[in-house]
Amino acid sequence: MPREPEPTGPEEPRAAARRSSWARSSRALLVLILVVAALAGACRLGGPRRSTPLVETAGRLTWSLAAVPGEEGLYQVAIRNPGGAAVSLAGLSLYLRAEVTTRDEFPTVSAALLLPGTVQPGEAVVLSVSLPTGPLWPGEFEIAVVVDDPTGGETLVVARTPVRPGGIDPVPVWPELGTVDFPVGDPLLVDFDVMVDPQSLQANLAFDPPVRFTLTAGPPDRPASFEIRPAEPLAPYTKYRLMIGPGLTTASGATAMGRPWAVVFATGPADPAQSEWAPAWAPDGTRVAWTARDSDGRICLYTGDLAGMTARVRLRGVAGGVPAWSGDGRRLYFALRERGGLAVGQLDLDTGQATTLIEAEDLDGCCGIRLAASPDGRYLAVEANLGAVDAHSDVCQEVYVYNFESGVLTRLPSEGLTSILAGWAGDRLLYASTYENFDHAHHFRYDLFSYEPGTAVRETLLPGGQLVNVGGFTIAGAAPVGGFWTWTPRNVGYRILHEAGALYVIPSLADPFIVPVALDPAEGRRWLMALSPDGTLIAAAVVLDDVSWDLILIELGLTNETAAVSQVTPVAVGPGSQFAPAWSPDGSRLAYLEADGRAVRVLVFTLVSGETAAFRVSGP
């Protein structure tokens, strides 16, 4: 969704002009700095520097670095001795280092050079070294010449230079590098730093696995961008590589790209809502229920028995989502499609009889449903997604409580635009509702409430919009601990994406406050988390080096004011995507989804043994 421009005042044109002038000055200054740095690399070391044996030795020499024209990844380092005495380099080592700091995906790459033992007066030594770049590297980075003194534990950069391996720099806008859950129907958008020839681009573009595509100009505000639209559906949960060959030329034909380039991404589900169809455990922990598509594309309701790890279809043609078990485990509640929207159905597992529990009209013709049954079996909480409202919001949601005894459906009070179902904490329902003064820049602020259906009493747990950009909740079953994760909005030209962000826990509901979990960004992006019943473990989907969701366990060291990660243990790793974890009631097992292409399975991981088993679907 495009972001609307902010209101401007009388001073805005002058401010914009000042910013534009500042930007031009900054670019000019950056160019000047790069030029000076390149020239300085060929000069004798100077300026204030702490005097050490390594600095004194290197400072008696001049060092220069240059890329060999026409030779991809080949560089020459020249060492000259302008003085009147020989300079000994014994014990020192020299290496070339590529410094790619724009993204974590590009590690530091280096190559060693063999130094001469001594450089005589007036002598010039030229060393050649190969440091090839890869197709996933950015269009510009720096190469540094580093001298290392192992005995003194010191390193010194003696020369550096910016490098542009190719004449054309592609920049992936959507998807960006490392994207997972790329929508199967979306176009790809790639920017270039110069105008390129469309015919040359068409000839140099390819997908792996192969996909037919069409090529059109990008948005009007991106004159050097192109939209690449697959002409056939991408396979769900599949890794793709979009490649541009080195033969791509500029619009004038004068400059070629000069090197291969690629962006790797992984698709999401064929149905975007399916990415969160987590399994649901029966109260006694002996069975699991879930919804998924069968071979004919129909969404079915399944139940699986842990005793034999066998599963069967209970209903066909449901609306998807996460089912909910009744307190006694004899019924399942699920979303079904009716004229005018979604309704809530119930399935009697003893008789196989399915009936409508809540009509679609009672939920205002909603287009999405989340369910949570109270542990005592008296109530069913329903989150109804009413769809998009305006250009600033994604959805308008309402939370309802259904009383099984009276058959009354109650809409819970909300002050803002949207409400989110958190879950049950004993006989209390936790839900969040947007703070009445939330802003319109895709930053949603929520209050957290506790609601007791028996008395209709609502208590404010966290007021004043303390919950920001909530992406989902997770509640520990046997501990007074709750958790939620947030998202970060990012504008990619055509839409606002919600990227997985931070994780927080609420140690106590009696005196609630928010504690951030200290997650290391270098350990990947986490999503679809689930807190164990005792509140000590978090199961989460994570993406790091490989472009797929892997499942990990995060062990929390929780105190009253801090929540640090003490250990991270992998549970399930590629090549497919492992996600949507759900804990068994006793916390001994973890059910989750595994998707690879169009095949989706439900697996169960046992913590004590470390064994994993998949449900086998049988029967009609």
Q: Is residue 340 part of a domain?
A: no
Q: Is residue 341 part of a domain?
A: no
Q: Is residue 171 part of a domain?
A: yes
User: Distance (Å, rounded) from C-alpha 403 to C-alpha 337?
Assistant: 22
339-355 residue pLDDT tens: 888 999 999 999 999 99
Regarding whether 545 and 508 lie in a shared domain, the answer is yes
Regarding whether 41 and 114 lie in a shared domain, the answer is yes
Regarding whether 150 and 33 lie in a shared domain, the answer is yes
Regarding whether 200 and 132 lie in a shared domain, the answer is no
pLDDT greater than 50 at residue 97: yes
69-96 residue pLDDT tens: 766 678 899 999 999 999 999 888 888 8
> What range does the domain containing 109 cover?
20-163
Cα angle for residues 420, 422, 426 (degrees, 5° grid): 145
User: Distance (Å, rounded) from C-alpha 322 to C-alpha 334?
Assistant: 7
- What is the radius of gyration, based on Cα positions, of the chain? 30
DSSP SS3 for 365: coil
Residue 356 in contact with residue 344, Cβ under 8 Å?
A: yes
pLDDT at 173: 85
Residue 139: CATH number of its domain: 2.60.40.10
User: Distance (Å, rounded) from C-alpha 587 to C-alpha 596?
Assistant: 27
Q: Is residue 119 part of a domain?
A: yes
| Domain end (from 267, 289, 309) | 267
Percent of the chain's residues with pLDDT above 70: 79
DSSP state of 6: P
pLDDT at 2: 32
Regarding whether 208 and 151 lie in a shared domain, the answer is no
Residue 159 in contact with residue 77, Cβ under 8 Å?
A: yes
Regarding whether 66 and 143 lie in a shared domain, the answer is yes
Instruction: For strands 515-518 and 563-572, give the pairing.
Output: parallel
Structure tokens at 51: 């005097």
Starting from the edge strand earliest in sequence, which strands make up the sheet with 482-491, in order?
Answer: 470-475, 482-491, 496-506, 515-518, 563-572, 550-558, 537-543, 525-531
Structure tokens at 606: 């046992």
Q: Is residue 492 part of a domain?
A: yes
Structure tokens at 306: 């842990």
Structure tokens at 276: 């969160």
- Tell me the CA end-to-end span of the chain in Å, nearest whole number: 43
DSSP state of 27: H
104-159 residue pLDDT tens: 444 456 677 888 889 999 999 999 888 766 655 666 778 888 898 887 778 899 99
Instruction: For strands 428-434 and 445-452, give the pairing.
Output: antiparallel
β-strand partners of 471 = none
252-311 residue pLDDT tens: 888 888 778 888 888 888 776 666 688 999 999 999 999 988 878 788 999 999 999 999
In order of 2, 17, 20, 403, the CA distances from 12 in angstroms are 21, 8, 12, 55
Q: Is residue 322 part of a domain?
A: no
Regarding whether 204 and 133 lie in a shared domain, the answer is no
508-542 residue pLDDT tens: 788 888 888 877 766 777 777 888 888 888 898 88
Averaging pLDDT over each range in 237-246, 292-301, 417-426, 611-620, which range is the top one?
237-246
Segment 203-227 mean pLDDT: 92
State the CB neighbour count (10 A cutoff) for residue 554. Answer: 22
Regarding whether 102 and 51 lie in a shared domain, the answer is yes
DSSP state of 282: -
Residue 31: which residues within 8 A CB-CB, separation 6 or more?
none
Question: Which residue reads 């947030």 in tokens?
Answer: 486
Regarding whether 158 and 183 lie in a shared domain, the answer is no
219-246 residue pLDDT tens: 888 889 999 999 998 988 888 999 999 8
Starting from the edge strand earliest in sequence, which strands make up the sheet with 612-614, in order?
Answer: 577-583, 589-596, 599-606, 612-614
Q: Is residue 255 part of a domain?
A: yes
Count of structural domains within the chain: 3
Instruction: For strands 599-606 and 589-596, give the pairing.
Output: antiparallel
Q: Is residue 194 part of a domain?
A: yes
Regarding whether 202 and 107 lie in a shared domain, the answer is no
DSSP state of 477: S
> Closest Cα partner for 400 from 440, 354, 438, 357?
357
